Amino acid sequence: MANYRDRRVGQEILREVNDILRKRVRDPRVQDITITDVRVTGDLQQATIYYSLLSDLASEQTKAQQGLDKAKGLIRKELGQRLSLYKTPELIFEKDESIQYGNHIDDLIRKLNQGE
């Protein structure tokens, strides 16, 4: 049962953080960020929020991470108001590397198909 609950809370956080980033955070560094996954610990104390970025540039990724870290307080406060949880989890933002890997595979397949 607990496992289902943390997944459900994760989905809620994913939806809300995407919404908060679009509507509440005015920082241009986070404009092109999409939240792709959220993993919540079983005790709901901590949420690791995975995000992807349109740009592959390292400088853009650094800026995005800085923007997210700066907005963390606002995002957590907003989440606290939106979620019906006793305590809002601690937030950790991490870049979703799996998306980049998927894009890399897509590129390789595209190049293979062009070679035919």
pTM, full prediction: 0.82
- Predicted confidence at residue 3, as pLDDT, reads 74
pLDDT of residue 32: 87
Radius of gyration of the chain, Cα coordinates, nearest whole angstrom: 16
CA–CA distance from 89 to each of 18, 56, 86, 99 (Å)? 16, 29, 9, 25
Tens of pLDDT along the chain (116 residues)? 557 888 999 999 999 999 999 999 999 999 889 999 999 998 999 999 999 987 778 888 899 999 999 999 999 999 999 998 889 999 999 998 887 767 777 788 888 888 75
The answer to whether 53 and 64 have CB atoms below 8 angstroms apart is yes
Burial class (CB in 10 A: 0-12, 13-18, 19+), 96: middle
Q: In the prediction, which pLDDT does 5 show?
A: 85
Q: Which helix (H) or strand (E) holds 39?
A: strand 33-40
